[in-house]
Amino acid sequence: MMTNAIKKTMLSTGISIILMTVLAGFVMTVAFNDLLNPKSDSVPSYFQYLAAVLGWVAILICDLIVSHGVFHLFKTQNIKKARLSSLLRYFYSFLLAIGIFFLLKGLLSYDSKNQLRENVAFFKWIWSFGLIIFGFHLTTLSKLFCEKDIIRRLISILLLTAGIGYILIHGTAIVIPEYSQSVSILEPYFIPSMLLGELGFAIWLIAKGIKKRSAIFL
């Protein structure tokens, strides 16, 4: 029988994933599309940059909630895989926190465009490395989530494809940057899985979490 604690974890995990998706769109639109683009010379206003940094802090908090949720939702199914998947996401969150530290430094050096872009570049490199770890998290999560049910199987495939995409694209950018331009051509093919994989997982969790009764766990 699904307990109230499990339902609450499902809801908090699913809502956190959706909130992260919305916040990511916000921070990229408000400030980071131009700052992360080396060809762009424009800089957001101080308050736009501050709002975007606060958005990243909120994303970090949501990531920690999801890391916690993954372990507690799947530990009865396979505690070793649940712990591994959770730890991988915690490690990604740790790297994101380091990246956010450089964004906060950017607030202090906002008047210097070069220093601001330098701090954002540090964030971008650390975040990119973190996304490799995030990719491994998604691949382990896909194995935990995969069941005979057609919807879960489809979401698992999307999570696995997204994980492979993160590992391939960001791994190439870090390890062999001279090939990153070629590999980035594949990115548009992975974007649907990157968007729909976690969103599908989140919607499934919320749908299960709000059901009044259930005779199964997951």
Whose CA is closest to 141, among 70, 51, 192? 70
DSSP 75: T
Residue 218 domain-assigned? no
Element (H, E) at 23: helix 4-27
Q: Residue 36 CB: number of other CB atoms within 10 A? A: 15
Q: What is the pTM of this model?
A: 0.89
Q: What share of the chain is helix, strand, coil (3-state, %, to 5)?
A: 85, 0, 15
Q: Are 204 and 151 in contact (CB under 8 A)?
A: yes
Helices (H), 146-186: 150-175, 180-183
Residue-range definition of the domain harbouring residue 64:
4-209
Residue 131 domain-assigned? yes
Residue 216 domain-assigned? no
Residue 115 domain-assigned? yes
Q: Which residues lie closer than 8 Å to 27 by C-beta, 6 or more apart? A: 52, 55, 56, 59
Say how many domains are in the chain.
1
Each residue's pLDDT, cut to its tens digit, for the chain (218 residues) gives 568 889 999 999 999 999 999 999 988 887 777 777 666 677 888 898 999 999 999 999 999 999 999 999 999 999 999 999 999 999 999 999 999 999 999 998 888 888 888 999 899 999 999 999 999 999 999 999 998 789 999 999 999 999 999 999 998 888 777 666 667 787 788 889 999 999 999 999 999 998 754 434 45
**Angle, helix 79-108 to helix 113-145, in steps of 10 degrees:** 170
